[in-house]
A = this chain, B = another copy of it.
Amino acid sequence: MDIEEFRRRGKEMVDLMCNYYTTVHERPVRSQVEPGYLRPLLPDAAPAEGESFDDILSDVQSHILPGITHWQSPSFFAYFSANSSPPGLLGEMLSSALNTIGFSWITSPASTELETIVLDWLGKLLGLPHAFLAVGPDGKLGRGGGVIQSTASEATLVALLAARSRAMAGRPPEDALRLVAYSSDQAHSCMQKACMISGTRHMRQLRARADRAWALDPEDLQAAVEADVAAGLIPFYLVATFGTTSSCAVDPLRPLGELAARHGMWMHVDAAYAGVAAILPEQRAGLDGLELAHSFDTNCHKWLLVNFDCSCLWVRDAEPLKEALSLTPHFLRAKGNALDYKDWQVPLGRRFRALKLWFVLRTYGRAGLQAYLRHHLALAATVEARVRADARFELAAPPRFALVCFRLKGASCEQNAALIESVNQTGRAFLSHTELGSQYTLRFAISGAQTQACHVDAAWQLVADKASELLGAQHL
């Protein structure tokens, strides 16, 4: 395939992409295939000679699309969304074409420098403390700054590694065995995975309680830390969550940060989903105390119209991160803006992901992004109102951001599970579930790029109808 064929095929692909977005609402949201569906449909080896792109596209239509769960459907309300947008797509296209591997500054200066600048832009939009920005209000380079990670999982891991490097400075290697990390049991599973990967032996997942709206209680943390210190352990890392996966609970950053400071712990704020809501000044209350954190991460690929992946991590001081991840001796490390982002992440190679973020921030502007976020918050409020208005249901947690957790009141786990499965089986909406205080809980997460009131209304009506069928059938 030469460049001229690519020109033709590329434009056909753009049409296919547009066609996909204008018709995705007609497809079953959750794929309806069975495990193993694809292998019998494909040859068991690559072809000996090249095939035509028409044949490939034909297989995409017939074999691949039925196996897609449509994250871009306006009726996708499961997990948290994965936003796609026109400028996000255009940024991906350009980044793929340049296909740079920006592991160090010289391997593509624009890739590194745009990332630093655009993360300062986004940090300002979010109202982050100045210390998290690369360039402070005085125009000078500080010790902090932002970097794009693949996912919040990777951010939680590298923050742990930075915390370990900071905690171990001047200590004998055996002390690594006594390090202990903390979070609530509502923190994302990536916290546990980060401990497994890094070989962190001690991890406390403190139980969050319903009466604190599933947030981590600083008194519980304090008791755990004191017990560990008394037992000879070394507290080093605390993950506080701003918008947990299950219920969007917000851990109280100020008291947690004060406690972390007293015990020399690194506090990482995992705001994977909800962090971008801080573009709205009225959503920032839960970030009070953020200046006490050492790192903060939010995913622009969830709710900010940037195609996956684009997880934005800021650190107040990049030195412990480099200490943990750089193989370059301290005295040889790049100074000033000529930073090498390979020293801020797990992999060596990295794509030019700042382009798509830059395109999105410029295309929508602050006002456009604010309107977008408020649109989803308003839609979530309508779902909350309907749960409250229907006596068969109860809220399972205080609705936060654009997530509403609910369940059939007084019903069993099995009944709630049957309800969600009957909804999802229709293909007309896709919700996911969680567990809160051992209770099966349905999640209605509204942050799809194409989601409008009609989609939310239809999905709620579907839930209500299926509840009627279920409750009727079971003679409750």
Identify which of B109, B152, B154 contacts A67 (C-beta below 8 A).
B109
B residues in contact with A151, CB < 8 Å: 347-349
Q: How far is the CA of A66 from the CA of B114 in the complex (A)?
A: 12
CB distance from A355 to the nearest CB of B (A): 8
State the main secondary structure of chain A at its contact with B: helix
Q: How far is the CA of A200 from the CA of B174 in the complex (A)?
A: 12
Asked if residues B56 and A197 are in contact (CB atoms below 8 Å), the reply is no
Counting CB contacts under 8 A, is A458 at the interface? no
Q: How far is the CA of A50 from the CA of B122 in the complex (A)?
A: 15
B residues in contact with A6, CB < 8 Å: 14, 17-18, 21, 86, 89-90
B residues in contact with A108, CB < 8 Å: 31, 67-69, 71
Counting CB contacts under 8 A, is A378 at the interface? no
Q: How far is the CA of A4 from the CA of B72 in the complex (A)?
A: 17
Counting CB contacts under 8 A, is A227 at the interface? no
Counting CB contacts under 8 A, is A157 at the interface? yes
With A9-B86, A107-B79, A366-B46 as known contacts, state yes or no: A93 contacts B39, CB within 8 Å.
no
Q: How far is the CA of A256 from the CA of B334 in the complex (A)?
A: 38
Identify which of B46, B47, B157, B176 contacts A122 (C-beta below 8 A).
B46
With A120-B44, A190-B348, A197-B198 as known contacts, state yes or no: A38 contacts B100, CB within 8 Å.
no
With A82-B100, A99-B82 as known contacts, state yes or no: A365 contacts B9, CB within 8 Å.
no
Counting CB contacts under 8 A, is A11 at the interface? yes
B residues in contact with A70, CB < 8 Å: 98
B residues in contact with A196, CB < 8 Å: 161, 324-325
Which single residue of chain B is at the shortest CB-CB distance from A87? B1
Asked if residues B153 and A56 are in contact (CB atoms below 8 Å), the reply is no
Asked if residues B153 and A109 are in contact (CB atoms below 8 Å), the reply is no
Q: Could you say which of A22, A69, A151 has the most chain B C-beta atoms within 10 Å of its C-beta?
A: A69
Q: Could you say which of A5, A114, A150 has the most chain B C-beta atoms within 10 Å of its C-beta?
A: A150
Counting CB contacts under 8 A, is A48 at the interface? yes
Interface residues of A in 89-147 (CB under 8 A from B): 89-90, 92-94, 96-101, 105-111, 113-114, 117, 120-122, 124-125, 135
Asked if residues B50 and A364 are in contact (CB atoms below 8 Å), the reply is yes
CB distance from A413 to the nearest CB of B (A): 16
Identify which of B47, B51, B121, B349 contacts A45 (C-beta below 8 A).
B121
Counting CB contacts under 8 A, is A49 at the interface? yes
CB distance from A208 to the nearest CB of B (A): 18
CB distance from A46 to the nearest CB of B (A): 4
CB distance from A90 to the nearest CB of B (A): 5
B residues in contact with A44, CB < 8 Å: 120-121, 135
Extra pairs beyond A2-B86, A35-B337 (14, CB < 8 Å): A10-B90, A13-B90, A14-B93, A16-B97, A56-B358, A69-B108, A71-B98, A72-B98, A82-B349, A93-B93, A157-B346, A189-B348, A193-B327, A309-B349
